[in-house]
Amino acid sequence: MKSNLLMDFTVDKENSTVNIKREFNASIDHVWSAWTEPEILDQWWAPAPFKSKTKSMEFKEGGRRLYAMVGPEGDERWGAFDFTSITPKTNFKQSSTFCDAEGNPNSEFGSSYWDLTFSEEGDSTFVDIVIKRDSFEELEKIVAMGFKEGFTSAMEGLDKIFEARN
């Protein structure tokens, strides 16, 4: 089993995007399920020490995931993904926004537009992610809030799930 998994994270100021390429030691079926099934998402989506808690999720075009990242003291930070396009085991697109527990958006942070593409090479699955913001200032704000570190922590949590399966 490969231990030096690829994690490429770049910020494109000109296009207000974050580009991430991440490798996993798992089949495309397992990786797709981990990104699209709430029972698995809740095991890894939030960066430690937070835990993810899905309130509702319909993984379909026009569907939504409403979830909270719950801190060690019980504080909740709510978010929503709105799924706009799905090609099974290949690609899905979603918008992401911070919101309240009822799904009402928090306009202070705007939205992110995610495009996730899945591909399998040998024993590895790669997920290519492009996250677009409306402006570079918005992108700078989420990066300054620790997005890279939090996302990296969540990816390590997902690695542990796949390691436990092997």
Q: What's the CA gap between 1 and 120, in Å, rounded?
A: 15
Q: What's the CA gap between 79 and 57, in Å, rounded?
A: 12
pLDDT-derived band at 5 (thresholds 50, 70, 90) equals: confident
Going from the C-alpha of 84 to that of each of 8, 57, 62, 110, 144, the distances in angstroms are 25, 14, 6, 17, 27
Tell me what the mean pLDDT of segment 68-96 comes to.
97
- Do the domain assignments include residue 7? no
Question: Tell me, what's the pLDDT at 107?
Answer: 78
Contact call for residues 7 and 152 (beta carbons, < 8 A): yes
pLDDT-derived band at 75 (thresholds 50, 70, 90) equals: very high
What is the tally of structural domains in the chain? 1
Indicate if the pLDDT at residue 113 is higher than 60. Answer: yes
pLDDT-derived band at 110 (thresholds 50, 70, 90) equals: confident
pLDDT-derived band at 2 (thresholds 50, 70, 90) equals: low
Question: Tell me, what's the pLDDT at 3?
Answer: 62
Question: Tell me, what's the pLDDT at 4?
Answer: 72
pLDDT-derived band at 108 (thresholds 50, 70, 90) equals: confident
Could you read off the pLDDT of 50-73 as tens digits, one per residue?
999 999 999 999 999 999 999 999
Question: Tell me, what's the pLDDT at 161?
Answer: 95
- Do the domain assignments include residue 94? yes
- Do the domain assignments include residue 5? no
- Do the domain assignments include residue 158? yes
Could you read off the pLDDT of 119-137 as tens digits, one per residue?
999 999 999 999 999 888 9
Indicate if the pLDDT at residue 26 is higher than 90. Answer: yes
- Do the domain assignments include residue 66? yes
- Do the domain assignments include residue 2? no
CATH number, position 62: 3.30.530.20
- Range(s) of the domain holding residue 116: 14-165
- Do the domain assignments include residue 4? no
Angle at 125 between CA 35 and CA 42, to 5 degrees: 20
Report the DSSP beta bridge partners of residue 11. 18
